[in-house]
Structure 1
Amino acid sequence: MASPAVDDYLKTIYHHTEWQDDPITPSQLAATLGLAPSSVTEMVRKLSTQGLVSHRPYGPISLTDAGRRRAAATCRRHRLIETWLVREFGYAWDEVHDEAEVLEHAISDRLLERIDARLGRPRFDPHGDAIPDADGNVDREPFVLLAEAGPGHTGRVLRVSDRDPELLRAIESAGVAVGSEVTVSGAATITVADAAVDLPDGAPDAVWLTA
């Protein structure tokens, strides 16, 4: 059954393990969604009853195969819309998340297919997150979080978290974008195009590089 609330839960659980391996806990899910733990506990119970998640009391939450397919479909809608807004309407990458949150529940599958075709079947959204194909498959390179990359590591920026629009703007102002070739110099310093760049606070934990 179509439900924006269910899709938001599944999308959040799916996204949590895209760029790291630890499954999401109920408290993390509540914090990410901005909801009371009691509300999350009740919804997780319902999702488990529907066969969309696997969860034991006080344990982490994981998606079932059915839940993963539905979550991938929702992420596909969200990320295609973000890409569409940037390419066709001139939105900045820090402006699209909230718009996509609304539109992903409103547009038809037919329109989504037209958007995908018009954009040339993109594989990644403006922030570097992989866009699942119609079957839920994704293509992602091996990666490392910038904060965990040692000095001297050279790689291409794969992804920048879209959680904090202000941080996105600061990272962009520093000359760092998805696709940039960078070399790690220190804990918060990188080299981009032969120029040393001091990263804003929080950036090392929001940027992923090729491994």
Structure 2
Amino acid sequence: MPSPAVDDYLKAIYHHTEWQTAPITPSQLAANLGLAPSTVTEMVRKLAAQDLVSHRPYGPVTLTGTGRLRAASVIRRHRLIETWLVREFGYAWHEVHDEAEVLEHTISDRLLAGISARLGDPRFDPHGDAIPDAAGEVHREPFVLLADAPVGHLGRILRVSDRDPALLRALEEAGLDVGHSVTVTGRGAVAIDAAEPVALPDGAVSAVWITA
């Protein structure tokens, strides 16, 4: 049965391995959700009983095939709504996350299909996160975290984390947006679209992914 609480757990587990490969631990899951470890442990047991996650004591938590499909469905809703709010209502990219958190649990499948069709069935949301298709599949280019890119690396910005709205605003002011080309010129500095190098806001190198 639909449950916002279950969906939030599945989304958090899904998000954790979107842009890196290490599976999430229960303690990381608790930190991400802002919940007590004991609360998370109990919910993970329930999710495992529903065949939504796999977990052994003291081990990481991973999605089963069923869990991944459900997580991808909710994330599809969330990211289509974010894209809709930016394109149709003029929201800034740092304003859409909280709105989408509410709407993803309330709109019908029919309305979601209409939104997707109106937007031209987009593959990426305003932050560059891949929008799963109706079958739960996503398609991304090879990527590297900006913090791991060597000096001289030239790449196109694929994704900017939406976790910190203040950082999103700072990145926008610096001209760092999805689709722009950047050349790494030093630790915490890049040239955007072959222009003069600019210093990045604090935290940017751990929040921006570029083509590998």
TM over 0.5: yes
Cα separation, 1, equivalents of 2:132 and 2:8: 16
Q: Deviations over 1:87-133 (max 9, x none)?
A: 00000000000000000000000000000000000000000000000
Aligned partner of 1:190 in structure 2 is 190
Q: Secondary structure of the residue that 1:201 maps to in structure 2? A: coil
Q: Which letter does structure 1 place at the counterpart of 2:68?
A: R
Aligned partner of 2:203 in structure 1 is 202
Aligned partner of 2:103 in structure 1 is 103
Aligned partner of 2:84 in structure 1 is 84
Matched, 1:134 2:134: yes
Matched, 1:13 2:16: no
Q: Secondary structure of the residue that 1:185 maps to in structure 2? A: strand
Aligned partner of 1:61 in structure 2 is 61
Aligned partner of 2:117 in structure 1 is 117
Q: Which letter does structure 2 place at the counterpart of 1:9?
A: Y
Aligned partner of 1:36 in structure 2 is 36
Cα separation, 1, equivalents of 2:99 and 2:32: 18
Cα separation, 2, equivalents of 1:164 and 1:24: 20
Cα displacement (A) at 1:21 = 0.3
Cα displacement (A) at 1:188 = 0.1
Q: Secondary structure of the residue that 2:123 maps to in structure 1? A: coil
Cα separation, 2, equivalents of 1:160 and 1:195: 21
Cα separation, 2, equivalents of 1:195 and 1:156: 16
Cα separation, 2, equivalents of 1:60 and 1:157: 30
Cα separation, 2, equivalents of 1:151 and 1:85: 36
Aligned partner of 1:160 in structure 2 is 160
Cα separation, 1, equivalents of 2:196 and 2:7: 43
Cα displacement (A) at 1:16 = 0.6
Cα displacement (A) at 1:68 = 0.3
Q: How big is the alpha-carbon RMSD for the aligned residues of Structure 1 and Structure 2? A: 0.5
Q: Structure 2 unaligned runs (5+)?
A: none
Cα separation, 2, equivalents of 1:106 and 1:9: 18
Cα separation, 1, equivalents of 2:98 and 2:162: 10
Cα displacement (A) at 1:197 = 1.1
Q: Secondary structure of the residue that 1:47 maps to in structure 2? A: helix
Cα displacement (A) at 1:187 = 1.0
Name segments (4+ residues, structure 1) moved above 6 Å: none
Cα separation, 1, equivalents of 2:141 and 2:162: 19
- Percent identity for Structure 1 against Structure 2: 75
Counting matched residue pairs gives 211
Q: Deviations over 1:7-43 (max 9, x none)?
A: 1100110011000000001111111111111110000
Cα separation, 1, equivalents of 2:163 and 2:99: 14
Q: Which letter does structure 1 place at the counterpart of 2:22?
A: D
